[in-house]
């Protein structure tokens, strides 16, 4: 099954959802004009990581979600990216939402591994479940940024039949080498497409004095890696850009037949507790 996917690598304006929504609208319109079926945006692309501001503006988050839904419906494309969403206990969650071309939520995943180095665990409600979305292209797994360091997620998705995982990112320097290795490793070991859409630009996550590393600069390098570990398309480190590529998800089936990793597993030997 083939699909055309676009990755919107963008500079996110902290605590400025109107600016970010306007930018996303332009990216989605251009992606639709290119014939894209799916548009992927970065992690926390509507607001960035000012934790105090995000906690205080739940109504704006709900409005942003509704506007992205409308964006998907008007342009007849699927849209994914992570956004703050308020939980029942009044805390924001870092939520990856997959909207279908009717503007409906096809799937929702709340980031399960929160980045303690930036004190994300102090300000954000953790997700409690993994999510495999049912799409016209087959099962698709959802993850968010730091999750990529936890290979169990991606193996779980592969075992559930996913042939592609969508990963909105806010990955900063100095960990560019880690990103390049990890995204390919997850693709190769699980024989699936990895779609990683990163931010560019700088911000101070959590506000000055809150984040463990202070101000950070994101390195872009958004990428699609195929199930054999080959790069399909990749962005540079600094520019805002819309990447577009056609993917054939049957490539995952071909690779799994060629390299019989899943048949050769020995799960009776593995203790992951």
Domains of the chain: which residue ranges? Answer: 2-269
| Of residues 200, 248, 220, 240, the one with CA closest to residue 30 | 240
Task: Identify the bridge partners of residue 81 per DSSP, sorted by sequence position.
Answer: 97
Q: What's the mean pLDDT in 246-273?
A: 95
Q: What percent of the chain has pLDDT over 70?
A: 97
Exactly one of 40, 145, 180, 203 is catalytic; which is it?
145
Active site residue 2: no
Q: What's the mean pLDDT in 140-162?
A: 98
Note the helical H segments in the chain.
17-33, 51-56, 58-75, 120-123, 151-159, 176-190, 250-258
Exactly one of 111, 120, 180, 203 is catalytic; which is it?
111
Asked whether residue 214 carries a pLDDT value surpassing 90, the answer given is no
Q: What is the mean pLDDT of the chain?
A: 95
Q: What's the mean pLDDT in 70-95?
A: 97
Exactly one of 23, 40, 43, 203 is catalytic; which is it?
43
Active site residue 111: yes
Active site residue 145: yes
Give the number of other Cβ atoms within 10 Å of residue 1's Cβ. Answer: 11
pLDDT digits (tens, 9 = 90+) for 56-81: 999 999 999 999 999 999 999 999 99
Give the β-pairing of 2-11 and 38-40.
Answer: parallel
Confidence of residue 205 (pLDDT cuts 50, 70, 90): low
196 phi and psi, to 5 degrees?
-115, 115
Cα angle for residues 125, 130, 133 (degrees, 5° grid) = 120
Predicted TM-score of the model (pTM): 0.96
Asked whether residue 212 carries a pLDDT value surpassing 90, the answer given is no
pLDDT digits (tens, 9 = 90+) for 19-54: 999 999 999 999 999 999 999 999 999 999 999 999
pLDDT number for residue 209: 37
pLDDT number for residue 213: 59
- Residue 107 and residue 138 in contact, taking contact as beta carbons nearer than 8 Å: no
CATH of 2-269, one of 3.60.110.10, 3.40.190.10, 2.60.120.10, 3.40.80.10: 3.60.110.10
pLDDT number for residue 118: 86
Cα 89 from chain centroid (whole Å): 24
């Amino acid at each position: 099954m083939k699909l055309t996917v676009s990755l919107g690598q963008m500079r996110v304006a902290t605590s400025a959802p109107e600016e970010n929504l306007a930018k996303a609208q332009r990216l989605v319109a251009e992606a639709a004009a290119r014939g894209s079926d799916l548009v992927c945006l970065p992690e926390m692309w509507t607001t960035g990581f000012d934790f105090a501001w995000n906690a205080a503006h739940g109504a704006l988050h709900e409005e942003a979600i509704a506007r992205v839904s409308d964006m998907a419906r008007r342009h007849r494309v699927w849209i994914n990216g992570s956004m703050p969403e308020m939980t029942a206990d009044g805390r924001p969650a870092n939520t990856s939402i997959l909207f279908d071309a009717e503007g409906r939520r096809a799937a929702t995943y709340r980031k399960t591994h929160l980045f303690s180095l930036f004190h994300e665990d102090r300000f954000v409600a953790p997700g409690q479940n993994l999510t495999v979305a049912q799409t016209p292209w087959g099962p698709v797994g959802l993850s968010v940024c730091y999750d990529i360091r936890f290979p169990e997620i991606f193996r779980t998705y592969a075992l559930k039949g996913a042939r592609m995982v969508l990963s909105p990112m806010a990955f900063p320097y100095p960990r560019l080498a880690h990103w390049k290795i990890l995204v390919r490793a997850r693709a190769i070991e699980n024989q699936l497409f990895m779609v990683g859409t990163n931010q560019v630009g700088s911000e101070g996550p959590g506000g000055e004095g809150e984040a463990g590393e202070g101000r950070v600069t994101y390195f872009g390098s958004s990428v699609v890696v195929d199930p054999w570990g080959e790069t399909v398309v990749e962005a540079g480190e600094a520019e805002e850009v819309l990447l577009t590529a056609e993917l054939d998800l049957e490539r995952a089936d071909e690779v799994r037949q060629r390299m019989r990793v899943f048949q050769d597993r020995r799960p009776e030997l593995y203790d992951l507790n």
